[in-house]
């Protein structure tokens, strides 16, 4: 089978497109014929050897896929050959076939294309559990979403709106804000030329929940416009700066700052994903979620897909097209 392979750590262009052995199916696993693979910032870090769960060299990157089940291993229950599925994998998604632990493989939501299914597991899974389990976002609350045109941010806008929140989106230009509004945001703030605290005060007065995959200065500005008992969800640090949080600000308004790593639940609470995806599939059926893909790139050109993400030239998700 064909796959992209990392043999030395460095930039994504170090990937080589090679013929490799089809992975061997083990107990509790399923073999999936891959049709699409979602691209994530973690893939870039993995290529560089900087991700917390980077495999040993050589390896094939790719953490989320869509496809069809080809074979089912001993003890693997819940999916069957021929099922259309989406899955999270530790690595291997940028190849024509991949072996997946069955508890990380789920039936795909109905009504989505293979590319949309490939874009679904991590971004929507992250936003849904962050907002429902960690932040406990309630109907009528105000949600502030940073990086709102990105792969995770845009899903947080959609889910927040579906949960009944008033959504304020922040992004770096007018086009990205327009995209966020087309997916449900009530208000938009351009953080390159507008002060987040001042605009929030003008729009809604305060915010109850902040969803932050950006970090740095936008986090610090958000901290100054929190409502009493507000919750701030730290999802990532796309800005490159890991902020130091002044605890006196938390004390004055009883604010919670909550860390969130979606992949961590696979190790200590994997069953939580099933309920999350049932809820998300219902949102898809109701028309609340519409995965946005700005670029589809052929498997042989996978380094270009990661370059698009790294340069911030994409919106929503970038997907690698493995099969037609």
Q: Is a pLDDT exceeding 80 seen at residue 243?
A: no
127: left (phi over 0), alpha (psi -120 to 50) or beta: alpha
- What is the residue-averaged pLDDT of the chain? 93
**What is the predicted pLDDT for the residue at 311?**
87
Q: Is a pLDDT exceeding 70 seen at residue 167?
A: yes
Distance of CA 20 to the CA centre of its chain: 28
- Give the pLDDT confidence of 257-312 residue by residue, as tens digits: 999 988 888 778 888 998 999 999 999 999 999 999 999 999 999 999 999 998 88
Instruction: Report, at the CATH architecture level, how domain 126-263 is classified.
Output: 3-Layer(aba) Sandwich (3.40)
- Using the CB atoms, write b or e for 96-123: b if 16+ within 10 Å: bbbbbbbbbbbbbbeebbbbbbbbbbbb
Lowest mean pLDDT: which of 150-159, 169-178, 198-207, 264-273?
264-273
Label residue 217 by pLDDT band (50, 70, 90): confident
**What is the predicted pLDDT for the residue at 249?**
75
Query: For residue 227, which of 191, 185, 189, 197 has the smallest C-alpha distance?
Result: 197
Q: Is a pLDDT exceeding 90 seen at residue 324?
A: no
**What is the predicted pLDDT for the residue at 240?**
66
Label residue 239 by pLDDT band (50, 70, 90): low
Question: Does residue 254 or residue 298 have the better pLDDT?
Answer: 298
Could you state, in order of their start, the residue ranges of all structural domains in the chain?
2-120+291-321, 126-263
What's the CATH fold of domain 2-120+291-321?
Quinone Oxidoreductase; Chain A, domain 1 (3.90.180)
Label residue 244 by pLDDT band (50, 70, 90): confident
Q: Is a pLDDT exceeding 90 seen at residue 28?
A: yes
| Rounded Cα–Cα distance for residues 237 and 217 (Å) | 11
Q: Are the C-beta atoms of 299 and 62 separated by less than 8 Å? A: no
Over residues 72-81, mean pLDDT: 94
| Rounded Cα–Cα distance for residues 51 and 208 (Å) | 31
140: left (phi over 0), alpha (psi -120 to 50) or beta: left
Q: Is a pLDDT exceeding 70 seen at residue 48?
A: yes
Q: Is a pLDDT exceeding 70 seen at residue 200?
A: yes
* Cβ neighbours of residue 74 closer than 8 Å, sequence gap 6 or more: 27, 28
**What is the predicted pLDDT for the residue at 53?**
84
């Amino acid at each position: 089978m064909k796959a992209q392979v990392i043999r030395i750590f460095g930039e994504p262009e170090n990937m080589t497109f090679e013929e490799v052995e089809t992975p061997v199916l083990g107990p509790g696993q399923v073999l999936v014929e891959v049709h699409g693979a979602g691209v994530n910032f973690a893939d870039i870090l993995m290529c560089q050897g900087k991700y917390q769960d980077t495999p040993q060299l050589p390896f094939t990157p790719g953490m989320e896929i869509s496809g069809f089940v080809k074979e089912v291993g001993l003890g693997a229950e819940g999916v069957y050959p021929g099922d259309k599925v989406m899955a999270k994998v530790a690595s291997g998604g940028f190849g024509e076939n991949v072996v997946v632990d069955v508890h990380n493989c789920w039936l795909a939501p109905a009504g989505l294309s293979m590319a949309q299914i490939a874009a679904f597991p991590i971004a929507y899974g992250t936003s849904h559990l962050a907002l429902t389990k960690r932040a406990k976002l309630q109907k009528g609350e105000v949600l502030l979403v940073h990086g709102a045109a990105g792969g995770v941010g845009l899903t947080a806008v959609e889910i927040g709106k579906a949960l009944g929140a008033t959504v304020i989106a922040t992004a770096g230009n007018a086009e990205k804000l327009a995209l966020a509004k087309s997916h449900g945001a009530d208000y938009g703030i351009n953080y390159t030329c507008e002060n987040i605290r001042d605009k929030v005060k003008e729009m809604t007065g305060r915010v109850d929940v902040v969803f932050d995959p950006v970090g740095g200065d936008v986090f610090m500005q958000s901290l100054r416009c929190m409502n009493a008992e507000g919750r701030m969800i730290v999802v990532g640090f796309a800005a490159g700066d890991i902020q130091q949080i002044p605890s006196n600000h938390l004390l004055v308004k009883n604010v919670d700052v909550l860390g969130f790593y979606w992949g961590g639940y696979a190790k200590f609470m994997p069953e939580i994903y099933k309920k999350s995806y049932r809820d998300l599939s219902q949102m898809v059926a109701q028309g609340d979620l519409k995965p946005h893909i700005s670029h589809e790139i052929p498997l042989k050109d996978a380094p270009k897909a990661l370059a698009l993400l790294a340069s911030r030239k994409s919106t929503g998700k970038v997907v690698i097209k493995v099969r037609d």
